[in-house]
């Protein structure tokens, strides 16, 4: 194939290399185009490191450039039709129409061109300018906000709390950061790797990869430790992102344990019922 277009940047560099390799089979060459949002620059750097090649930035074509290209293509289609098609019947038909309606050949040709255009305009219009009320998307890779005299590792406590927090374990490695255990709905069955999880979370939240700890991958889900006290809106964003084709649907492990669907919880309830039944029988 001649082109591979990556509309979403892959979190896994192996997937990216596999995709773009389709343009170079059987000694052929092709183009791989990658759309990158500002907050995805870290993922782009990972791809460049893995492929040992610089991904060259392409300038977006202007409306004028696109329209000129479309006009040239339209003119060429007329030239090709004049050279290759038998036009005797249509020439005769247009002569009849011209005599019946007393219009010029140029007017007839313009009307036919408009008819050929159909519902899709031949020319693009310039996009409307953004108003001041429209907020641009947040760039997580932009310059950090002023931290004053506060050290880089000192996190300001969040005002957004979520009630009682489940028990947290300190992060290994001696970092004085309070951590919280989360569950994500992607596991071995989906082909996920720890690097995929770290890359996705770090890119979406701006959390340093060193503060994403103790990833444990199970068959259909995984657990990961993240800094405690993350805002609710950030958790909602993480629920929607995909890793290995699966939505993370991230949730605090405390909430998962309390869920009636949790298998360990069901086993515990069953044991309690059996114990209670045994006591009643012995009393009877």
Given this model, what pLDDT does residue 220 score?
92
Q: What is the DSSP letter of 272?
A: H
DSSP string, 50-107: HHTS--PPPPPPPHHHHHHHHHHHHHHHHHHHHHHS--HHHHHHHHHHHHHHT--HHH
Question: Given this model, what pLDDT does residue 157 score?
Answer: 45
Q: CB neighbours of 16 closer than 8 A, spacing ≥ 6? A: 6, 9, 10, 34, 47, 50, 51
Average pLDDT value for the chain:
75
Predicted TM-score (pTM) of this structure: 0.41
Residue 267 has pLDDT above 80, yes or no: no
Judge whether 169 and 182 are in contact, CB under 8 Å. Answer: no
Copy the structure tokens of residue 184.
């994500």
Cβ atoms of 179 and 228 closer than 8 Å: yes
Domains of the chain in sequence order: 3-51 (no CATH), 63-117 (no CATH), 179-263 (3.30.70.330)
In a 3-state reduction of DSSP, which class is residue 206? coil
Work out the widest C-alpha separation in the chain, in whole angstroms: 111
Classify the phi-psi angles of 264: left when phi > 0, otherwise alpha if psi is within -120 to 50, otherwise beta: alpha
The token pair at 77 is: 């289609």
- Higher model confidence: residue 136 or residue 189? 189
pLDDT value of residue 226: 87
- Check pLDDT > 60 for residue 203: yes
Structure tokens at 144: 């950090």
Q: What was the pLDDT predicted at 167?
A: 41
Report the alpha-carbon distance of residue 217 to residue 222 in Å, rounded: 4
- Which two structure tokens, joined as six digits, stand for 17? 């290399």
Predicted pLDDT of residue 11: 72
Q: Which one of 38-42, 76-80, 118-122 scores highest in mean pLDDT? A: 76-80
CB of 62 closer than 8 Å to CB of 126: no
Q: Has residue 275 got a pLDDT over 70?
A: no
Mean pLDDT of 122-135: 68
Does position 170 have pLDDT exceeding 50, yes or no?
no
Average the pLDDT over 198-225 and give the result: 85
Instruction: Give yes or no for residue 244 having a pLDDT over 60.
Output: yes
260: DSSP letter = T
CA distance 50 to 17: 9
What pLDDT was estimated at residue 89? 92
Q: What is the pLDDT of residue 25?
A: 67
Higher pLDDT: 205 or 63? It is 63
More confident residue, 208 or 219: 219
Instruction: Answer whether residue 256 shows pLDDT above 80.
Output: no
The token pair that represents 141 in the structure block: 């890779």
What pLDDT score does 205 carry?
Answer: 73
Say how far apart CA 9 and CA 246 lie, in whole Å. Answer: 15
Q: pLDDT band at residue 224, thresholds of 50, 70 and 90?
A: very high
Distances (CA, A) of 129 to 125, 136, 160, 201, 220: 12, 12, 35, 33, 46
- DSSP letter for each residue of 125-165: PPPPPPPTTSPPPP-TTSPPPP-TT--TT-PPPPS---SSP
The whole-number pLDDT of residue 231 equals 82
257 pLDDT above the threshold of 50? no
Q: Which residue has the higher pLDDT, 72 or 3?
A: 72
């Amino acid at each position: 194939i001649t082109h591979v277009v990556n509309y979403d940047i892959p979190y896994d560099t192996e997937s990216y290399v596999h995709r773009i390799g389709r343009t170079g089979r059987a000694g052929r060459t092709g183009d791989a185009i990658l759309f990158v949002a500002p907050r995805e620059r870290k993922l782009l750097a990972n791809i460049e490191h893995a492929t040992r090649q610089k991904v060259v930035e392409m300038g977006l074509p202007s409306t004028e450039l696109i329209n000129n290209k479309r006009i040239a293509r339209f003119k060429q289609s007329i030239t090709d039709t004049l050279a290759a098609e038998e036009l005797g019947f249509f020439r005769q038909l247009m002569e009849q129409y011209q005599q019946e309606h007393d219009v010029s050949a140029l007017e007839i040709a313009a009307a036919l061109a408009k008819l050929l255009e159909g519902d899709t305009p031949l020319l693009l219009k310039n996009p409307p300018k953004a108003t001041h009320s429209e907020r641009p998307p947040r760039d997580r890779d932009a310059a950090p906000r002023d931290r004053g005299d506060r050290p880089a590792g000192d996190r300001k406590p969040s005002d957004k709390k979520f009630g009682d927090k489940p028990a947290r374990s300190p992060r290994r490695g001696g970092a004085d950061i309070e951590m919280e255990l989360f569950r994500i709905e992607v596991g071995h069955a989906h082909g996920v790797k720890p690097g995929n999880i770290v890359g996705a979370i770090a890119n979406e939240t701006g959390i340093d990869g060193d503060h994403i700890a103790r990833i444990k991958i199970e068959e259909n889900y995984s657990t990961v430790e993240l800094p405690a006290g993350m805002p609710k809106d950030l958790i909602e964003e993480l629920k929607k992102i995909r890793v290995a084709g699966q939505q993370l649907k991230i949730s605090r492990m405390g909430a998962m344990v309390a869920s009636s669907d949790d298998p360990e919880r069901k086993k515990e309830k069953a044991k309690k019922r059996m114990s209670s039944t045994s006591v009643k029988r012995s009393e009877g």
